[in-house]
């Protein structure tokens, strides 16, 4: 698929907005979202360039065709869109979206295409899921500019979705300027949009990404004379000052890096898969992996195993060596970390260390007594903890934390879980002072929703799409 320069696409959008048929289309849609208009115009532009026709020409020709008694003439527009749908000019998921948008253009100009007459490209149900390795990423970094290097390393070490990555601002990485490693990244629920608007994203970046971001930000200040504030976007366009990149730019950065490296194509989502794989390989608990991935916790997992930020940081530190490309992380003394945690716990609860060990033995029967509260030469029994001892203590502490968190979580449960709000009651989301109703729809429903004034927001997995509309 041809990727036009940003300036060219902007110029084309402005040109297309002058066409009467495009103005009629947007009037019918009733959307005020500039993001939606931009995406719709990009897909319509691509189709018109392929067809070598303007939007007004498409409309005029369709009106003439519909007057014909010859069915082949009457179905000319449908046949042309079918050829485009199976041209291979776009990835299959993008082509399905484009078809729905073009159908919407015809419908809002009152020259609707025949129902079920246009079929998108066939989808292959089975997919060979791949994820980049450290070796792949090392090759992709070769020849990357400072911005793209920072983007690639942040994707790999944080597991963030591209939609979340473009929202990052300097305030989200404050720990980077406090010389903390790993650096916590937190996006609050109100900062996330669409399907993820009710969640919070908590993850980290390691030394590789930290160093890359520092060099990139220093370059922006030195070369672009940019005055960075807490509200400055972390990743910005190369051809402008302070303007954030969009999701298509992130996809393009990854694709170009693969091309330079001479390796098979990866997507930003493949980086999330690599992040999850490396966390699991490092022995991070499944529920904690979900939390770092920004997934919603459900069922029994939710109340009994929700880790706090420092617990997540400790778990991430164990996984960082597997996420490292260029920087060699300092080895974490796992038992020293446990010791610090247990000492703080004893002080907080005013409990003797011996009593805490007895309590931990309830969770892991046979837990060896390592007298960590005494100097080494005064210890009895196990003087130095082995790998097995450390793993047992970590397991006991996890179970202990679950019980400690249980009451706290129950106090913080949402009104729905307490039965205050009845199940099925209609809710809305607030975004910038406006209220929206959101839905996830199937491919065969997308066109009808767009025709009814819903806005396209994002393509999801499993042939589903996220749409929304304003609530008055």
Which H, E and C letters describe the chain, residue by residue? CCCCCHHHHHHHHHHHCCCHHHHHHHHHHCCCCHHHHHHHHHHHHHHHHHHCCCHHHHHHHHHHHHCCCCHHHHCHHHHHHHHHHCCCCCCHHHHHHHHHHHHHHHHHCCCCCCCCCCCCCCCCCCCCCCCCCHHHHHHHHCCCCHHHHHHHHHHHHHCCCHHHHCCCEHHHHHHHHHCCCCEEEEECHHHCCHHHCCCCEEEEECHHHHHHHHHHHHHHHHHCCCCCCCCCECCECCCCCCCECCHHHHHHHHHHHHHHHCCCCCCHHHHHHHHHHHHHHCCCCHHHHHHHHCCCCCCCHHHHCCCCHHHHHHHHHHHHHHHCCCCCCCCCCHHHHHHHHHHHHHHHHCCCHHHHHHHHHCCCCCCCCECCCCCHHHCCCECCCCHHHHHHHHHHHHHHHHHHHHHHHHHHCCHHHHCCCCCCCCCCEEECCEEEEEEEEEHHHHHHHHHCCCEEEEEECCCEEEEEEECC
Residue 117 falls within a domain, yes or no? Answer: no
Residue 120 falls within a domain, yes or no? Answer: no
- The answer to whether 89 and 1 have CB atoms below 8 angstroms apart is yes
276 shares a domain with 186: yes
> Domain containing 460: what range?
429-470
177 shares a domain with 45: no
Model confidence pLDDT, tens digit, residues 406-455: 555 444 433 433 343 333 333 444 444 446 677 777 877 777 777 777 77
Residue 125 falls within a domain, yes or no? Answer: no
Query: How many domains are contained in the chain?
Result: 4
pLDDT for res 197: 45
pLDDT for res 173: 92
Residue 126 falls within a domain, yes or no? Answer: no
Residue 294 falls within a domain, yes or no? Answer: yes
Model confidence pLDDT, tens digit, residues 186-233: 877 655 554 444 556 789 999 999 999 999 999 999 988 899 999 999
pLDDT for res 36: 79
Residue 104 falls within a domain, yes or no? Answer: yes
CA angle 316–321–323, rounded 5-degree value = 75
pTM tops 0.85, yes or no:
no
359 shares a domain with 210: no
φ/ψ of residue 468, rounded to 5: -150, 165
218 shares a domain with 318: yes
447 shares a domain with 407: no
Domain with residue 259: its CATH number is 1.10.443.10
In whole angstroms, give the CA distance from residue 391 to residue 408: 26
- The answer to whether 141 and 181 have CB atoms below 8 angstroms apart is no
- The answer to whether 267 and 254 have CB atoms below 8 angstroms apart is yes
What would you report as the CA-atom Rg of the chain, rounded to the nearest whole angstrom? 27
453 alpha carbon, distance to own chain's centre: 26
151 shares a domain with 99: no
Residue 361 falls within a domain, yes or no? Answer: yes
356 shares a domain with 244: no
In whole angstroms, give the CA distance from residue 122 to residue 120: 6
394 shares a domain with 357: yes
Low-confidence ranges of the chain (pLDDT < 50): 1-2, 126, 194-197, 299-305, 328-332, 409-434
- The answer to whether 62 and 54 have CB atoms below 8 angstroms apart is no
pLDDT for res 311: 81
Considering only CA atoms, which of 362, 346, 360 is closest in space to residue 390?
A: 360
- The residues pairing with 441 across neighbouring beta strands, listed in sequence order, are 465
| Owner of token pair 């907005």 | 17
361 shares a domain with 215: no
Residue 223 falls within a domain, yes or no? Answer: yes
- The answer to whether 406 and 303 have CB atoms below 8 angstroms apart is yes
104 shares a domain with 200: no
380 shares a domain with 268: no
383 shares a domain with 311: no
Q: Measured between alpha carbons, how far is residue 23 from residues 19, 46, 55, 172 in Å?
A: 7, 18, 10, 39
pLDDT for res 337: 72
């Amino acid at each position: 698929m041809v990727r036009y320069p940003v300036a060219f696409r902007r110029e084309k959008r402005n040109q297309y907005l002058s066409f009467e048929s495009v103005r009629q289309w947007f009037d019918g849609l009733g959307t005020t979202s500039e993001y939606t208009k931009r995406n719709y115009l990009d897909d319509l532009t691509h189709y018109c360039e392929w067809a070598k026709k303007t939007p007004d020409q498409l409309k005029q020709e369709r009106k003439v065709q519909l007057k014909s008694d010859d069915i082949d003439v009457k179905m000319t527009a449908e046949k042309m869109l079918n050829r485009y749908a199976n041209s291979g000019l776009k990835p299959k998921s993008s082509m399905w979206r484009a078809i729905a948008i073009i159908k919407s253009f015809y419908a809002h100009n009152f020259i609707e295409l025949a129902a079920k007459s246009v079929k998108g490209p066939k989808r292959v149900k089975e997919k060979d899921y791949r994820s980049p390795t450290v070796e792949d990423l090392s090759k992709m970094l070769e020849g990357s500019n400072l911005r793209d290097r920072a983007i690639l390393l942040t994707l790999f070490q944080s597991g963030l979705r591209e939609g979340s990555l473009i929202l990052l601002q300097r305030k989200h990485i404050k720990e980077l300027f406090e010389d903390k490693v790993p650096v916590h990244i937190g996006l609050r629920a109100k900062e996330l949009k669409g399907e993820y608007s009710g969640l919070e994203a908590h993850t980290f970046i390691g030394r590789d990404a930290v160093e890359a971001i520092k060099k990139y930000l220093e370059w922006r200040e030195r070369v672009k004379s940019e005055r960075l504030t807490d509200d400055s976007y972390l990743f910005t366009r190369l051809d402008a000052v302070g303007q954030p990149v969009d999701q298509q730019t992130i996809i393009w950065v990854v694709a170009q890096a693969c091309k330079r490296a001479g390796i098979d194509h990866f997507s930003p989502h493949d980086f999330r898969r690599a992040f999850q794989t490396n966390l699991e390989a490092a022995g991070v608990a499944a529920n904690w992996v979900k939390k770092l991935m920004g997934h919603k916790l459900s069922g029994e997992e939710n109340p009994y195993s929700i880790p706090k930020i420092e617990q997540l940081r400790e778990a991430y530190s164990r996984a960082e060596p597997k996420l490292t490309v260029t920087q060699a992380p300092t080895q974490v003394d796992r038992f020293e970390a446990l010791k610090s945690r247990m000492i703080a716990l004893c002080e907080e609860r005013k409990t003797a260390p011996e009593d805490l060990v007895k309590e931990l033995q309830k969770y892991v029967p046979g837990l060896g007594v390592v007298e960590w509260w005494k100097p080494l030469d005064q210890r009895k029994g196990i003087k130095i903890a082995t790998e097995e001892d450390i793993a047992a203590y970590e397991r006991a502490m996890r179970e202990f934390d679950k019980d400690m968190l249980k009451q706290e979580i129950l106090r913080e449960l949402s009104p729905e879980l307490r039965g205050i709000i009845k199940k099925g009651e209609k809710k809305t989301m607030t975004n910038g002072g406006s209220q929206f109703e959101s839905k996830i729809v199937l491919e065969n429903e997308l066109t009808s929703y767009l025709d009814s004034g819903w806005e396209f927001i994002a393509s999801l997995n499993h042939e589903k799409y996220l749409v929304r509309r304003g609530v008055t």
